[in-house]
Structure 1
């Protein structure tokens, strides 16, 4: 049995059939399939890092075993033979002892000159006699030394052979002018090899100065020095 035709609808030209309109059904988007986890890039990066770390540990293990040595020893190579020598423990090493101080009556050797400190007299207020004398700007200090030539050439006694030094590092030079007022001035006297003489070195220093060191040297050009300790 055939279906009867649809009745003519308003607004539709004569002779054209009305086509019914069905509801619009949107097209569902197609979903992209997910990659398996083992194909992710970060999985491969982590794997490479782990592999490199494992290989480096295998390669370094042999070196650690070869270089391990007992504590307190050091490796030495003599003529191609490797030996282990003990190393001194700084916590148990004996302390370095300083040389004992040398004071009045002691002897020091500097280069080719040997000194013996005989006397140290501070607080001198004048030198000379009633006709020929001088007074200090502060105080005169007289240092008496035996100077001996232990070299092979003659030496000359000069003021620069001796100096005084205070605890704060202040250094005082001998006064060549004050030497002239001594009864027997050793200024510019020569000493032949093997000979010695007693020489008084005069210093003009402040009244409140208290030197603690008598420094002796080889002379004007002498770089080596030694120290007598006062007090």
Structure 2
């Protein structure tokens, strides 16, 4: 009796079941690799801490606190050294010369005695335009440069006199202001015009 012929293995059901399982496994593997490839191609995301940026912006917005000097303090504005030694108020400058009239005002004069030092490398002339009085209403007052007053002050007048490097001069300059001013400061500029790159404040009253 002839034995039964065996079916070829590729015609058996279990062969195709194995092939199907392997095929499904390969498809799943390819899909996973594809997803990995897509993720690797994405650019790295940079996390920005907005709180840190805000802190940096806040630091930039904060202005340095202005220093206010007092009478007797020694300080500099650029290459100009200053010490305000004395401040007084008066309404009249009397003259000892019969040919020079007394100088009076409807308001009051603020008379400042100060020591100025030239810290530059060249001789310089101190100018009245380097000084202003500022009151509590933010009004600005220029130095009083009346010709009669300059003659009455004589050598005490500190302006328009040349001062060599490293040398100092002590003298007087005057401001005419309204009578009702009670609180005011002196603003000192390092120079005149475009040369006035810095300024300092001295509280006078």
TM-score with structure 1 setting the length: 0.57
Name the CA distance, whole Å, in 2 between partners of 1:98 and 1:186. Answer: 31
Choose the corresponding residue for 1:200, options 156, 159, 172: 172
Name the CA distance, whole Å, in 2 between partners of 1:218 and 1:128. Answer: 32
Relative to its length, the structure with more helix (as a share) is 2
Match of 1:223 in 2: 196
Name the CA distance, whole Å, in 1 between partners of 2:187 and 2:111. Answer: 14
Secondary structure of the residue aligned to 1:67 is: coil
Match of 1:181 in 2: 152
Secondary structure of the residue aligned to 1:200 is: strand
Shift of 1:226: 1.7
CA RMSD between the two structures: 3.1
Match of 2:93 in 1: 127
Work out whether residues 179 and 202 of structure 1, in 8 Å CA contact, stay in contact via their aligned partners in 2: no
Name the CA distance, whole Å, in 1 between partners of 2:191 and 2:183. Answer: 21
Shift of 1:104: 0.6
Name the CA distance, whole Å, in 2 between partners of 1:96 and 1:154. Answer: 34
Query: Cα deviations across residues 35-66 of structure 1 (Å, max 9, x unaligned)?
Result: xxxxxxxxxxxxxxxxxxxxxxx99xx56xx3
Match of 2:45 in 1: 67
Distance 1:188 1:67, change over 3 A: same
TM-score with structure 2 setting the length: 0.63
Shift of 1:159: 1.4
Match of 1:157 in 2: 126
Query: Cα deviations across residues 114-173 of structure 1 (Å, max 9, x unaligned)?
Result: 111112212x01113354421123111111211100011111122112110112221101
Quick one: higher RCO (CA 8 Å, sep 6+), 1 or 2? 2
In terms of Rg, which structure is larger? Answer: 1
Question: Equivalences for 1:97-112 in 2 at 5 Å?
Answer: 98-112=65-79
Work out whether residues 164 and 211 of structure 1, in 8 Å CA contact, stay in contact via their aligned partners in 2: no
